[in-house]
């Protein structure tokens, strides 16, 4: 693999990261996609846009989120020093709000008056419903029927926030079907509607735009690690979980050109890659085209999309953002997977050892951290993205642990 | 660039000579199962279809409404694959050398088959044109070169959202005919006003000499007649697929009479476009 001058230059004008990305959408949407792109190009060059974004990040979301030295887990694993980037402390409990604030500011700039979104775990749905309440815009959230069952608290939160939650029964009623349904809604309502996509996927410019909003995570880490460990000190490794890849990209991207830093993305291994019941698009899928972009997908030999399986509804997506596919092929980022069981163990360990109830998604990241931290030297610094809190998961976890909790 | 006149161009020439618009029928290959689908396909031309659009089933048809989504899923469940779709066209070609066949679908199964291999195999099967919903002009380079070399037409979609700036980008790449999606929405969800369709078709004509087919929301012989009097062809899909859905037993198997009922509607639609009278230019 030839070495690049920069890993941060993508996408090209047509939205490609190498062979990945692009704009694979029906013609009806194409003019709108081009309009979003033009609006985004103008907004991101406008300091007033970023001033408002950063104002809301600070006063509404509560940023910067702390960079916390997880002393007890560090001692538990014995080895390198572990820091958590605490995006679970954000308003609404996950990193998703970084992106929804950014996109609703863009929607408002474009004069759009109706917001739609897809959601899996419900975190992105809640984050979207929240900003719609904040900006006084009507909000429709598409959510798979299966997910509505496993994430009941988030469904109620969205409704309290004034959003309409539409159950998606097509396909297998999970995140990919919710995204299909949101795209169908958008095709039918191009004039007034803005689609707030929840991760670094979809047609150009979404993967780049969502990344740019989420980069606030990594940019803060660059500052905070120096405050904690001394000027000029950068982390030696970064770890984040991957559903569509937005929290991971937000942490990774500002460090891609620091070539000594080891970067690891953790996919959902479900029951194990060998069982076929997993959600590891990179380590268990192959390139294809879905939801507006070319990327690694779980699919059959006939090119039909397969449903993923994960304990975590937020990782249950058969694709992954196209920039991750590119970083996988060129080897800059390592991608691994951990199983449901390993994630559940990490969930419990973190809760008991640090007093932090993590979401099941970052529990995957932590499970991998647990596999490697002990073998690394004590002067090695690892930063893991604690991208969401586990409140939404307690009922699901209770069920898996065979404990009865009345909901 | 001179190209061999395609079966599609030939058919539109013939329609012009007959002074009428054409009927394009859409069904999904393998819906509800391969045998029934074969019977439908083999009967379409006799029932009066001028061009045949055959859907390549896909698990995630994002531009389709519930009827065609369900058709795709039925076909996949019955074991349909892209290879079987191509084999079905090849079988059809043994029997019918004249009726143009256009495959319509989404890009992923083609990409997985291998784009160049797909064009070779489609050509060998006797496919005349392709409508790939999620390949807008910006991404069509994936198939275009090989398709043109093989003499397979690429039919682009235009929509109410395609303005005068957008249309030239689309039609300069198009061959065969231009497909006008008459509603901003997915298949099978509503019907556009005929006046709006007329003015949209006029607008597209200012940008191209290619024939124009109009689809989405056309369900009745009357609508087909109306459309074929303002455009070169009317495309009917969901209404045919609805007949399949309505004639399945509890186990999802075709009930006796399904094929006849579907071809009956095709005959009515064909009578509609033939009786439309008014000459299309
Ligand atoms: C807490 C949390 N982490 C991670 C994800 C996965 O998304 P992404 O990979 O885009 O960060 C989700 C999705 O809902 C989530 O809620």
Task: Identify whether the C-beta of residue A125 lies closer than 8 Å to the C-beta of residue A158.
Answer: yes
Tally C-beta pairs within 8 A across A and B: 115
Is residue B190's pLDDT more than 90? no
Going from N- to C-terminal start, the domains of chain A cover 16-56+96-203, 63-93+211-400
Q: Secondary structure of chain B in the HEC alphabet?
A: CCCCCCHHHHHHHHHHHHCCCEEEEEEECCCCCHHHHHHHHHHHHHHCCCEEEEECCCCCCCCCCHHHHHHHHHHHHCCCCHHHHHHHHHHHHHHCCCCCEEEEECHHHHHHHCHHHHHHHHHHHCCCEEEECCCCHHHCHHHHHHHHHHCCEECCEECCCCCCCHHHHHHCCCCCCEEEECCCCCCCCCCCCHHHHHHHHHHHHCCCCCCEEEECCCCCHHHHHHHHHHCCEEEECHHHHHHHHHCECCCCCECCCHHHHHHHHHHHHHHHHHHCCCCCC
The helix (run of H) or strand (run of E) holding residue A322 is: helix A322-329
Average pLDDT of chain A to the nearest whole number: 96
Q: Which residues pair with A142 in a beta bridge?
A: A118, A166
* B279, burial (CB in 10 Å: exposed 0-12, middle 13-18, buried 19+): exposed
pLDDT of residue A316: 87
Minimum-distance ligand 1 atom for the alpha carbon of A198: 10
Q: Which of A296, A315, A389, A392 to mutate to test the pocket of ligand 1 (most atoms within 8 A of CB)?
A: A315
3-state helix, strand, coil in chain A (%, to 5): 45, 20, 35
Examine the residue annotation and report whether B144 is marked as an active-site residue of this protein.
Answer: no
The helix (run of H) or strand (run of E) holding residue A271 is: strand A262-272
Average pLDDT estimate for B84-113: 98
pLDDT of residue B280: 43
| pTM listed for this prediction | 0.96
Task: Identify whether the C-beta of residue A137 lies closer than 8 Å to the C-beta of residue A194.
Answer: no
Using one digit for the tens of pLDDT, what is the confidence trace for A293-313? 999 999 999 999 999 999 988
pLDDT of residue A407: 58
CA distance B247 to B239: 13
pLDDT of residue B96: 98
Average pLDDT of chain B to the nearest whole number: 95
CATH topology of domain A63-93+211-400: Rossmann fold (3.40.50)
pLDDT of residue B277: 52
Ligand 1 environment, Cβ below 6 A: A 94, 120-121, 123-124, 199, 241-248, 314-315, 359, 361, 387-388
pLDDT of residue A48: 98
Nearest CA to ligand 1 atom 1: A388
Low-confidence spans in chain A with pLDDT less than 70? 1-3, 407
What token pair was written down for A10? 């993508």
- CB of B117 less than 8 A from some CB of A: no
pLDDT of residue B188: 84
Using one digit for the tens of pLDDT, what is the confidence trace for B156-189? 999 999 999 999 999 999 999 999 999 998 888 8
Residues 6+ apart with CB under 8 A from A355: none
CA distance A319 to A246: 12
pLDDT of residue B1: 40
What token pair was written down for A309? 């399986």
Share of chain A above pLDDT 70, in %: 99
Average pLDDT estimate for B60-65: 94
pLDDT of residue B58: 98
Find chain A residues with C-beta within 8 A of B121's C-beta: none
Find chain A residues with C-beta within 8 A of B156's C-beta: 27
Task: Identify whether the C-beta of residue A107 lies closer than 8 Å to the C-beta of residue A196.
Answer: yes
Distance of alpha carbon A63 from the chain centroid: 18
Q: Do A171 and B133 touch (CB under 8 A)?
A: no
The three-state secondary structure class of A365 is helix
Nearest to B134 among A14, A26, A286 (CB): A26
ipTM for the complex shown: 0.95
Examine the residue annotation and report whether B222 is marked as an active-site residue of this protein.
Answer: no
Find chain A residues with C-beta within 8 A of B76's C-beta: 304
Other beta carbons within 10 Å of B43 = 16
* Fold match, A16-56+96-203 / A63-93+211-400: yes
- CB of B170 less than 8 A from some CB of A: yes
Using one digit for the tens of pLDDT, what is the confidence trace for B3-50? 456 999 999 999 999 999 999 999 999 999 999 999 999 999 999 999
Other beta carbons within 10 Å of A355 = 8
- What's the Cα-to-Cα distance from B83 to each of A165, B56, B234, rounded to whole Å? 39, 10, 28
pLDDT interval class at B113 (50, 70, 90): very high
Provide the b/e sequence for A275-308 (b: ≥16 CB within 10 Å).
eebbbbbbebbebbbbbbbbbbbbbeebbbbbbb
- CB of B188 less than 8 A from some CB of A: no
- CB of B217 less than 8 A from some CB of A: no
Q: Secondary structure of B56-98 in the HEC alphabet?
A: CCCCCCCCCCHHHHHHHHHHHHCCCCHHHHHHHHHHHHHHCCC
Measured between CA atoms, the residue of chain B closest to residue A30 is: B136
Going from N- to C-terminal start, the domains of chain B cover 7-274
Using one digit for the tens of pLDDT, what is the confidence trace for A95-108? 999 999 999 999 99
pLDDT of residue B279: 44
Helices (H), A136-267: 145-150, 152-160, 175-188, 206-214, 216-229, 246-252
Task: Identify whether the C-beta of residue A1 lies closer than 8 Å to the C-beta of residue A331.
Answer: yes
Using one digit for the tens of pLDDT, what is the confidence trace for B122-166? 999 999 999 999 999 999 999 999 999 999 999 999 999 999 999
Considering the four listed CATH numbers 1.10.1780.10, 3.40.50.1100, 3.10.450.50, 3.40.50.620, the one that applies to the domain covering A16-56+96-203 is 3.40.50.1100
Q: Which CATH class is domain B7-274?
A: alpha beta
């Amino acid at each position: 693999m030839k070495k690049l001058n920069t890993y941060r230059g993508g996408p090209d004008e047509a939205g490609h990261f190498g062979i990945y990305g692009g704009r694979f959408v029906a013609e009806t949407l194409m003019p709108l996609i081009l309009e979003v792109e033009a609006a985004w190009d103008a907004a991101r060059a406008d300091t007033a846009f970023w001033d408002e974004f950063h104002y809301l990040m600070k006063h509404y979301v509560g940023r910067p989120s702390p960079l916390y030295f997880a002393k007890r887990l560090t001692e538990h694993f014995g080895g390198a020093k572990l820091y958590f980037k605490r995006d679970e402390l954000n308003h609404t409990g996950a990193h998703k709000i970084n992106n929804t604030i950014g996109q609703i500011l863009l929607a408002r700039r474009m004069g759009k008056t109706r917001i739609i979104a897809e959601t899996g775990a419900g975190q992105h749905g809640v984050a979207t419903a929240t900003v719609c309440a904040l900006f006084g815009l009507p909000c429709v959230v598409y959510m798979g029927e299966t997910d509505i069952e496993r994430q009941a608290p988030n469904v109620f939160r969205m409704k309290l926030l004034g959003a309409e939650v539409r159950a998606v029964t097509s396909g297998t009623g999970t995140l990919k079907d919710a995204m299909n349904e949101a795209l169908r809604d958008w095709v039918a309502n191009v004039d007034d509607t803005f689609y707030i996509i929840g991760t670094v996927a979809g047609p150009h410019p979404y993967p780049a735009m969502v990344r740019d909003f989420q980069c606030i995570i990594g940019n803060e880490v660059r500052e905070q690690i120096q405050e904690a460990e001394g000027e000029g000190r950068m982390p030696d490794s970064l770890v984040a979980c991957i559903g569509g890849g937005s929290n991971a990209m937000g942490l990774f991207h500002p460090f891609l050109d620091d070539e000594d830093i080891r970067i690891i993305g953790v996919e959902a291994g479900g029951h194990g890659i060998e069982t076929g019941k997993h959600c590891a698009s990179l380590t268990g899928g192959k390139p294809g085209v879905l939801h507006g972009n070319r990327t690694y997908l779980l699919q059959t030999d006939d090119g039909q999309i397969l449903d993923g399986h994960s304990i975590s509804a937020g990782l249950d997506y058969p694709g992954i953002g196209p920039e991750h596919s590119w970083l996988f092929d060129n080897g800059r980022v390592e991608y691994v997977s951990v199983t449901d069981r390993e994630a559940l163990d990490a969930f419990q360990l973190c809760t008991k050892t640090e007093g932090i109830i993590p979401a099941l998604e970052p529990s995957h990241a932590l499970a991998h951290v647990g596999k490697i931290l002990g073998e690394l030297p004590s002067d090695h610094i690892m930063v893991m993205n604690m991208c969401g809190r586990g409140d939404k998961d307690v009922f699901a976890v209770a069920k898996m642990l065979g404990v009865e909790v009345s909901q | 660039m001179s190209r061999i006149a395609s079966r599609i161009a030939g058919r539109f020439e013939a329609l012009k000579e007959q002074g009428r618009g054409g009927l394009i029928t859409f069904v999904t290959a393998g819906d509800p199962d391969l045998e029934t689908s074969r019977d439908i396909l083999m009967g379409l031309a006799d029932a009066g279809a001028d061009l045949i659009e055959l859907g390549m089933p896909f698990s995630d048809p994002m531009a389709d409404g519930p009827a065609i989504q369900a058709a795709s899923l039925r076909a996949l469940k019955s074991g349909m694959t892209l290879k079987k779709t191509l084999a079905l066209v090849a079988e059809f070609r043994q029997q019918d050398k004249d009726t143009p066949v256009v495959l319509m679908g989404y890009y992923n199964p083609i990409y997985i088959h291998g784009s160049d291999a797909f064009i070779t195999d489609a050509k060998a099967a006797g496919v005349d044109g392709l409508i790939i919903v999620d390949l807008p002009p910006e991404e069509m380079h994936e198939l275009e070169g090989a398709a043109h070399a093989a003499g397979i037409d690429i039919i682009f979609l235009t929509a109410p959202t395609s303005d005068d700036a957008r249309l030239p980008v689309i039609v300069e790449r198009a061959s065969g005919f231009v497909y006008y999606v008459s509603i901003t929405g997915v298949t099978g969800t509503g019907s556009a006003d005929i006046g709006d369709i007329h003015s949209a078709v006029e607008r597209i004509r200012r940008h191209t000499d290619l024939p124009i087919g109009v689809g989405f929301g056309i369900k009745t012989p009357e609508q087909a007649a109306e459309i074929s009097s303002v455009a070169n062809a009317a495309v009917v899909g969901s209404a045919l697929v609805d007949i399949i859905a309505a004639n399945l037993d509890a186990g999802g198997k075709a009930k006796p009479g399904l094929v006849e009922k579907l071809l009956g509607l095709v005959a009515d639609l064909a009578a509609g476009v033939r009786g439309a009278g008014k000459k299309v230019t």
